[in-house]
Each structure stands twice: as structure tokens, then as C-alpha cells.
Chains A and B, each alone.
Chain A
């Protein structure tokens, strides 16, 4: 399956409001991180959860965020990270 991003690419999580079985938590929407790895292609949970096929499959990535970019008052080391799985249709180049 074709993919848009490679490890090391800077990406921004879309700030879309979307109801339903969405696996992109609010706290990362609009934030910029870096692709940590390509996980592979998986059924789309946004339709799979409602008894549909989940097709077409969506490319899934692990995205690495510096904690300080997520929380302005983060109380820890600047190197601390939050890593999370984001589907390609929730990402844009940053």
C-alpha cells in the first residue's frame, strides 16, 4: 500500500471535529510531531466500529511528540516524549 510519510517526517495532526469511533484523541489534534515508524495498513476503525468493512485500509503511523509541545506547563525533561498511533488521513506535512 502506498504511503505519504516516512520515519523522520514532521507531521501535523488535523484539527478536524468528527463524531464517532475516532482514535485520534483531542490532546494531539493540531500538534506537530515526527513519524517514529510506519506500523502498516489496518481497517479504518471509524467505519469498522459500526459493523462495516473498514475498507479501504488506512496507513497507520507511530508519531512521536515532545511533551512540551503538547502541554505548555509540562513538568519534566525537554527530552520526554509521548508516542501515539495516528492514521494517515489525520496527518498533514508540517
Chain B
């Protein structure tokens, strides 16, 4: 039975080998897209099936770490890439880098919005209902407010871009603004929620330390899934951003060649 199966596999491989070889060149360049796929398959399989710590209130929703938290990590990395390309644009005024910065920022915002929505779902079963928190305390949650501020600042980035008619001015001003927007991430989502009381892990009062990065904060088994998940989701975001970048580069070919 197994032998037959392997024979069949061999026959399939024999017939498709030429096609496979021709595809190999393409695969060579896009190995990271395949890596992203494999990591996300691993995330879903291990994320749903592996043992996780049994905690009150959280129960199985602790698995949201592999999805909700990864959205925020992906957002930060994508915004970081966008920030780097904005600086690169300002160094040589190459229009290409302005396109890079915009689309990485837009994919970062998509991840941020997804993180926000998934957080809202998670809130409704943990903070609001079971731990005696009223909606009022949840709405005062500094990380919610900080994340909303951060996303709105990036929203203003796109509004700003849309309001220019002059292309050079648009690229220049929005690149400077993008640097400001990235810097604003630091106080709004990393510093302030850790200074004042927060329902998220890592705030004073809850002894859970620095969330996700502290050795003692995250279960070792969960860490084995969480870090690959972050890489997988981020690579997916980068892939989608590059698709949009490549489309716009084709569209704006006449402009980018002049620069």
C-alpha cells in the first residue's frame, strides 16, 4: 500500500520534473514567500493543537497570541520599514522610495486595524464579561487609546498625501510626516501603557513584566509558536506591500525613470 503510494509519487515527479525545474528559478527568488506560507501553516496547526497554559478567564483564548498580537508586531515592523524608506527618500529624493514608504505604511495600517478589531473581539469575552471590568474601565485602557492615536496619526499621513497636487511636495512633506508618525509610536503604544495602569500585560501593578519579550512572561512552548508566527505574518505583509509597490512602479514608470 505504502509502496504503491511511493510509486505513484515517483511517477508524478518524473512527469512534472521539467516543469518543476523551470519553476525552480522563480522559487529561488521568492523563497521568503514560501517561508511565510510554511510558517503560517505551522502557526495554525501548532497554534490550535499544541498545549497552552491553562489560565482562568483566558482559557483557550490565550491562543489569540498567535494571531492578534502578531498583527501588532507585524504593524510595528511594517511601519519601521516604511520609516526607513522615508529617510532614504529624503537622502536622495528618489521617487521610488516614496512609493515604497507609502505602501509599507498602508499595509502596516491594515495590520493595525486588524489588530484592533481582533482585540475588540477578545476584550468582549475576557475583560468585559468575566473579570468584573465594566466597559468604562476598558475604554480607559491606555493601550487602546494609544493604539487608536497611533493609527489615527497614520490615517492623517494618507490624508496628507491625498491633499497635495504637486508630486515633489507631496513626497517630501509626507516623508517628513512619516518620520514623525513613527516616532509617535514610541510613547503611544510602548511607553505610556507601561507607565500607567493597563489591562495589557507589562504594566505596573500586574506582575507580568514586559509582554512577549520577557523570559519569564511567556510560556516556553508558546514562544516556539509565537516567534515563527510573528515572522510568518510579517513576511505576508511585506509580500502584499511589494505587490502594491510593483503595481505602482509599473504605473508610474515614466516618473521613476526620470528621477
B is a partner of A: no
